[in-house]
Amino acid sequence: MAAMLLARNRNFRLLFSASAISNLGDGISALAFPWLATLITRDPLLIGTVAAATRLPWLLFALPAGVVTDRVDRQQLMVQADLLRMILTFGVVAMILAAPALPMSDGDPSVPWMIAGLCAAAFLLGSAEVFRDNAAQTALPSVVEARDLERANGQIWSAEQVMGSFVGPPVAGLLIALAVPAPFMVDAVTFALAAWLVWAIRVQAPRLPPPTGGFMAQLAEGAQWMRRNRAMLALAVMLCPLNFANALVLTVLVLVSQEIYGLSAAGYGLLLSAEAAGGVAGALIGPSVVARLGAHRTVVTALCVFPVAFGILAVTSSALVAGLALAVSMAAGVLWNVVTVSLRQRVIPTALFGRVNSIYRFFGWGSIPLGAVAAGAIVAGFEGDLGRIAALRLPYWSATVITAGLLAWAALRMRLPTPE
């Protein structure tokens, strides 16, 4: 059935391929950006600032992106955003080539300027991603039938995990060993290919009535729909602490991998690949799990995993155990996404999708830069009293407590409809 959907639907095949290639680039940059930051400085707060800069646009631009998405041609918006990301990534290559020799010492006067440049590049790339991803989630319902949404989302999430986390990070590790600019050059090429694939999609855009009123009136229309749909509002609010906790975990992972697990760039890439393997498993079984358990029990089951996985990460010094914990948590995360993304695509009116989806992602993704900054601040603030290793573990303990509380609330208060 999965292969049949790709075989019979050309537009879905192009969208699937664009997602896979774009996420290969994202997977490469997911390792390359933080690793480049560690070559510039070992300060956890500065490294956390780079991570926060990547996600800060979700806090600042998610809501405007929703209004823009409902006003313009969504396919063209995706193409333009990918081309912009290509140009920006080539800019990172130029910055590296113009930089002093790497690695740099923290006393080097060039460190603040290099970090500032890296933050600026990450922020601009993240801003383009906000508009691109919001438009991309509106595209799927126009290329597959409603009954195929869970299957299509599962396939796309499988591709994203394979390319973004299973293939991309090890490739990035090998490319960094070859030359520091190399992963960014490959990343730029993937954006160009993704833009071409999206441009090649031929689908009749839905004829929607033009939005009325100004920016605030249009945004308020989406907010009113969200407020009336209690299940959607609950999911959006829950995603805020969940992604905050996940950001705590992932922001310091590059330092934990080096200083506790003793991994090289290639080893860190393999650790991220282990995480991706769990994501692939979650994507493949997701549609079947939802069909068997229903949306509510699938989400609660996924939430049960996070505090256990994060608790293991808080205590282990083994890269193998950490890889298994990351794999299990990623499988749970993808199960969450298969349920929630399909639900949004099914129930949100097409004319409002950009705005409602952006409000949803504002809650969820807007917390990621806050979590990234918090992770760096926690380590920097406590390493003097607790020591470096104990301080590096504190973000994991914090994530464990947050997700345990979230699980208790969801089990008692939340109810979701079962997909028809």
Provide the pLDDT for residue 356.
86
Provide the pLDDT for residue 366.
78
User: Do 229 and 37 form a contact (C-beta atoms < 8 A)?
Assistant: no
User: Can you tell me the mean pLDDT for 320-328?
Assistant: 95
Q: Is residue 60 part of a domain?
A: yes
Provide the pLDDT for residue 273.
80
Q: Is residue 418 part of a domain?
A: no
**Where does the pLDDT of residue 89 fall: very low under 50, low under 70, confident under 90, or very high at 90 and above?**
very high
Say which amino acid occupies 128: A
User: Do 335 and 293 form a contact (C-beta atoms < 8 A)?
Assistant: no
User: Do 119 and 251 form a contact (C-beta atoms < 8 A)?
Assistant: no
Name the residue among 125, 53, 51 with its Cα closest to residue 92: 125
pLDDT tens-place string over residues 198-246: 999 987 665 656 666 677 888 888 889 988 888 788 888 888 899 999 9
Q: How far is CA 21 from CA 15, 171, 280, in A?
A: 10, 13, 16
Q: Is residue 420 part of a domain?
A: no
- Given a cut of 80, whether residue 148 has pLDDT beyond it is no
What gap in Å lies between CA 85 and CA 194, rounded to an integer?
A: 11
Residue 359 is part of which domain span? 2-413
Provide the pLDDT for residue 135.
85
- Given a cut of 50, whether residue 420 has pLDDT beyond it is no
Provide the pLDDT for residue 245.
94
Provide the pLDDT for residue 209.
62
Q: What is the residue-averaged pLDDT of the chain?
A: 84
Name the residue among 288, 284, 307, 283 with its Cα closest to residue 403: 307
User: Can you tell me the mean pLDDT for 126-147?
Assistant: 83
Provide the pLDDT for residue 4.
73
pTM over 0.85: no
Q: Which two tokens mark 207? A: 């004829």
Provide the pLDDT for residue 70.
81
Percent of the chain with pLDDT over 70: 94
Dihedral of alpha carbons 151, 277, 35, 87, sign: negative
CATH number at residue 241: 1.20.1250.20
- Please indicate whether residue 212 or residue 365 has the higher confidence score (pLDDT): 365
Q: Is residue 272 part of a domain?
A: yes
Compute, in degrees rounded to 10, the torsion defined by CA atoms 16, 129, 59, 135: -50
**Where does the pLDDT of residue 191 fall: very low under 50, low under 70, confident under 90, or very high at 90 and above?**
very high
Q: Is residue 78 part of a domain?
A: yes
User: Do 177 and 102 form a contact (C-beta atoms < 8 A)?
Assistant: no
Provide the pLDDT for residue 205.
60
Q: Is residue 67 part of a domain?
A: yes
pLDDT tens-place string over residues 114-123: 889 999 999 9
Provide the pLDDT for residue 419.
45
User: Do 333 and 282 form a contact (C-beta atoms < 8 A)?
Assistant: yes
- Given a cut of 80, whether residue 108 has pLDDT beyond it is no
- Given a cut of 60, whether residue 248 has pLDDT beyond it is yes
Provide the pLDDT for residue 341.
80
Q: Is residue 419 part of a domain?
A: no
What is the number of domains present in the chain? 1
DSSP type of residue 415: -
What gap in Å lies between CA 15 and CA 110, rounded to an integer?
A: 42
- Given a cut of 90, whether residue 363 has pLDDT beyond it is no
Can you state the angle between helices 230-251 and 367-386, rounded to 10 degrees? 40
What gap in Å lies between CA 189 and CA 95, rounded to an integer?
A: 17
User: Do 323 and 187 form a contact (C-beta atoms < 8 A)?
Assistant: no
Q: Is residue 91 part of a domain?
A: yes
Mean pLDDT is lowest, of 147-151, 247-251, 412-416, for 412-416
